Amino acid sequence: MKTIRTGPLSLRVSERAVLTCLAVAALTAVTAVTTMVTGDFPLTVGEVLSTFVGQGDGASEFVVLTLRLPRLLTGLLVGAALALSGAILQSLSRNPLASPDIIGFTQGSATGAIAVIVLFQGGMTAVATGSAVTGLLTSAAVYLLALKRGVQSSRLVLIGIGVSAMMLSVNSYLITRATLEGALAAQAWLVGGLNNRGWDHVRVIAAALAVLLPCALWLGRRLALLEMGDTAATGLGVDVERTRLALLAVAVGLAAVATAVAGPITFVALAAPQLARRLTGASGPGLAASALVGGLLLVVGDLAVQRLFPTTPLPVGIATGAIGGLYLVWLLATEWRKGSTR
């Protein structure tokens, strides 16, 4: 741990965390370059750079600026938003299983999107709006049901899991009542993916992060104090319930917008914060590292499904679900072993 002083201000920085963030950023850059130059229409790095400065031919401009770059940026930003949401929820609850896709927020967001697709045949804007609205309503319901002399972490997780199961049944019911075309569209959206994502999606998730990311970082110190327990945090001057509510609002907003843009991509919010903590060796939430790891996980997963299955454009949600399922089994087994040895 190193202390940097600038006049009256000082900042404590973990050298390991900084090096980890730089390494993750470098891997992300390598993945981004690979995404831009490989595929059915291979390009050189020079051709991509020429396209960026407006000197590429028509084919290169279409491939780079219409197909690949918006999809890449959407994946980076959605992965970062999901990871930030998961990091906040896991830190608040002090439970590695707390993530928006486990405790109901993602399923709640999906309900609004499916309702718009099935009942109103809405476009991207309407689907995103419906997803965000029901995501916020679901999170409010989970919070209020868990509110009893404050919000205990175990109660929040258990109630969230129950609400998630209820919303999953509602989503299944909506699909059964849909036409064949509507059911196929809803089911495709439910998998979660980055296929056919354009600049409209990039603008939505970028605007959300521009507002919510500074809020999350500003509340990060209080979040670290909350991990010490409500009593200790109160003794250190933290308004526990108000801070918890603000952090929950930020986490829910991030998850709702990410789900609205890319569908319910699973397990990124669950795995990225835990991987970030292990890589950095941090005892606190590590929001910046979590965001970087989340973006890397999603773009690597998307690149893998694009290049391994070039003739069948699989949604990245299939890859994250398969890998995340194995991670969840490992995490549950690890937590069970820890509990059995206490």
Q: Which residues contact 142 (CB under 8 A, 6 or more apart)?
A: 103, 104, 105, 156, 159, 160, 163
CA atoms of 300 and 293, how far apart (whole Å)? 10
* pLDDT reported for residue 54: 79
In order along the chain (342 residues), what is the average pLDDT of each group of 10 residues? 49 73 92 89 86 80 88 93 90 78 80 82 76 82 74 71 85 83 78 83 90 88 74 72 82 86 85 85 77 91 83 76 71 64 50
Of the chain, the end-to-end C-alpha distance in Å amounts to 31
Q: What per-residue confidence (pLDDT) applies to 264? A: 83
CA distance 199 to 194: 12
| Confidence at residue 321, expressed as pLDDT on a 0 to 100 scale | 73
- Coil/strand/helix, residue 297: helix
With beta carbons less than 8 A apart as the criterion, state whether 83 and 291 touch: yes
Q: What is the pLDDT of residue 179?
A: 80
* pLDDT (0 to 100) of residue 9: 45
The answer to whether the beta carbons of residues 79 and 261 sit under 8 Å apart is no
pLDDT at residue 72 in the model: 93
Residue 2: the pLDDT is 54
**Which pLDDT score, from 0 to 100, does residue 235 have?**
76
Q: What is the pLDDT of residue 7?
A: 47
